[in-house]
């Protein structure tokens, strides 16, 4: 029979202590008075072997009138293998006790050492991009890291929409290498190979069920008034689970997540925090606004950065600062559209809806911009549908006419590199989809830069420690 114990390293008289007791010891041969030796020849474990004439003996603990076998390892040299309060996995079987670091601690230590070594050696970090879309988030993170002197490449990209993946492959070719793996499939349909490790996982988890509009649609579809949970959304509700599964299996040193602001208060995010913490990450969250970071789109976005324990002193979201200066006016990025162009439309149905909303006491109003403003409202995935909540450009001379942003203008207000949409084979509707569900580029470029600077400092600190180790 085998007994497995998950325990922790304690302390006694300022020295590390490992304490084992109970019938499970007796059952596997470690009876009171039996002797054993300690094999410390392996760097990742201690092995206790029951032998006649061993240097140590099994002690006794009295409890409720009876006695139990007890093994008490208490010595300063234990610190060579284990840290104070560190979680351990103890296996007892047939006269042998093997004490190792808990697999989560070992995994965290491995990924920390791996990323520090790669950064110090100036090797490119392997990025796994889940819900890749058109690659805007990845390009922003890659750009920021590159500005800090840290190279990256997309090792794995997962995206279920072929047209989005094709666009990214064509316009973001510098993100990919020969060994890159492109997976055109829903993430829940993928059987992941544990051998494929990531250095960074980048995930823009679909927000369909978490956004205010998404929740309202779910309620309308069900035909009831109760508030539905984002997790109940048919296609996007459980994707946080698949995201966590990917993280656990690929063991990245860093995880970068982005989502809508309301996602911060969902059950999904609560689970993400809890699981990432249990896996040995320090989770940081911050709501970031596009205008603050040099874009014209007044869009709040939740940015989550989970760093492996040991990197939290070097990577801090509070250190993310803008890298760009925002254009003074919206007109600075607008195209010169002739006043008689067919894109100027009356949108009578929107004006009528606004009148009905006002009469009904609703707060919905059309969002009309002249170009003199220093911002624009959020431009979403379904922008091409021309809905009442979408931002429009007001005609300069005819108050009854307005128009949608062009694709190029949409791209500019988000601060996205203009070459991304230099394609002829993709429809305008699809390009608006790609841009509308992407991120405000300068926000995540700045985040990537701060992360890159932190990684450089962490690698340098590790090199200095190796060169000048502390005195024993």
Instruction: Provide the phi-psi class of 131: left if phi over 0, else alpha when psi is between -120 and 50, else beta.
Output: left
* Euclidean distance between CA atoms 254 and 317, whole angstroms: 13
- 274-330 pLDDT, tens digit per residue, is 999 999 999 999 999 999 999 999 999 999 999 999 999 999 999 999 999 999 999
Q: Please give the share of the chain, as a percent, with pLDDT higher than 70.
A: 92
Q: Rank 241-245, 265-269, 329-333 by mean pLDDT and report only the highest.
A: 329-333
* 28 touches 10 (CB < 8 A): no
Task: Band the pLDDT of 234: cuts 50, 70, 90.
Answer: low
Question: pLDDT averaged over the chain?
Answer: 90
* 39 touches 29 (CB < 8 A): no
Q: Which domains does the chain have, with CATH numbers?
A: 3-101 (no CATH), 107-326+438-467 (3.40.50.150), 330-436 (3.90.120.10)
Task: Write out the two tokens for 152.
Answer: 């990256």
**pLDDT, average across residues 155-178:** 97
Q: What does pTM read for this prediction? A: 0.84
- 436-447 pLDDT, tens digit per residue, is 999 999 999 999
- 256-283 pLDDT, tens digit per residue, is 999 999 999 999 999 999 999 999 999 9
* 203 touches 131 (CB < 8 A): yes
Q: Please give the share of the chain, as a percent, with pLDDT higher than 90.
A: 72
Instruction: Provide the phi-psi class of 392: left if phi over 0, else alpha when psi is between -120 and 50, else beta.
Output: beta
């Amino acid at each position: 029979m085998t007994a497995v114990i998950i325990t922790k390293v304690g302390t006694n008289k300022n020295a590390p202590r490992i304490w084992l007791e109970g019938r499970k010891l007796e059952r596997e041969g470690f009876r009171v008075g039996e002797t054993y030796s300690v094999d410390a020849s392996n760097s990742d474990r201690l092995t206790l072997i029951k032998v006649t004439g061993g240097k140590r003996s099994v002690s006794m603990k009295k409890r409720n009138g009876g006695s139990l076998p007890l093994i008490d390892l208490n010595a300063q040299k234990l610190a060579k293998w284990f840290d104070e309060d560190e979680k351990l996995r103890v296996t007892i079987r047939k006269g042998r006790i093997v004490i190792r670091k808990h697999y989560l601690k070992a995994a965290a230590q491995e990924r920390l050492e791996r990323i520090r070594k790669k950064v110090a050696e100036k090797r490119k970090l392997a990025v796994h991009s889940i819900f890749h879309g058109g690659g805007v988030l990845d390009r922003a993170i890659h750009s920021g890291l590159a500005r800090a002197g840290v190279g990256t490449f997309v090792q794995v990209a997962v995206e279920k929409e072929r047209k989005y993946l094709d666009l990214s492959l064509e316009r973001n070719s510098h993100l990919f290498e020969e060994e890159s793996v492109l997976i055109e499939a829903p993430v829940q349909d993928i059987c992941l190979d544990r051998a494929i490790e990531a250095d960074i996982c980048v995930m823009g988890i679909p927000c369909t069920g978490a956004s205010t509009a998404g929740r309202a649609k779910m309620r309308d579809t069900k035909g009831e008034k109760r508030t539905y949970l984002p997790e109940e959304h048919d296609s996007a509700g459980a994707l946080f689970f698949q995201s966590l599964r990917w993280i656990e299996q690929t063991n990245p040193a860093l995880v970068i997540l982005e989502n809508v602001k309301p996602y911060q208060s969902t059950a999904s995010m609560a689970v993400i925090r809890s699981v990432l913490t249990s896996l040995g990450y320090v989770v940081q969250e911050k709501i970031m606004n596009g205008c603050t970071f040099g874009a014209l789109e007044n869009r709040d976005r939740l940015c989550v950065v989970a760093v492996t324990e040991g990197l939290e002193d070097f990577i801090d979201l509070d250190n993310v600062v803008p890298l760009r200066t925002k254009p003074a006016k919206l007109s600075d990025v607008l195209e010169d559209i002739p006043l008689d162009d067919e894109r100027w439309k009356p949108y009578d149905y929107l004006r009528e809806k606004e009148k009905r909303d006002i009469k009904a006491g609703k707060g919905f109003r059309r969002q009309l911009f002249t170009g003199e403003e220093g911002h624009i409202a959020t431009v979403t995935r379904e922008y091409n549908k021309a809905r009442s909540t979408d931002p429009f450009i007001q005609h300069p001379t005819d108050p009854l006419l307005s128009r949608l942003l062009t694709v190029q203008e949409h791209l500019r207000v988000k601060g996205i590199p203009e070459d991304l949409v230099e394609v002829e084979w993709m429809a305008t509707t699809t390009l608006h989809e790609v841009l509308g569900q992407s991120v405000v580029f300068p926000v995540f470029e700045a985040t990537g830069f701060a992360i890159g600077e932190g990684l450089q400092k962490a690698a340098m600190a590790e090199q200095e420690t190796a060169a000048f180790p502390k005195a024993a």
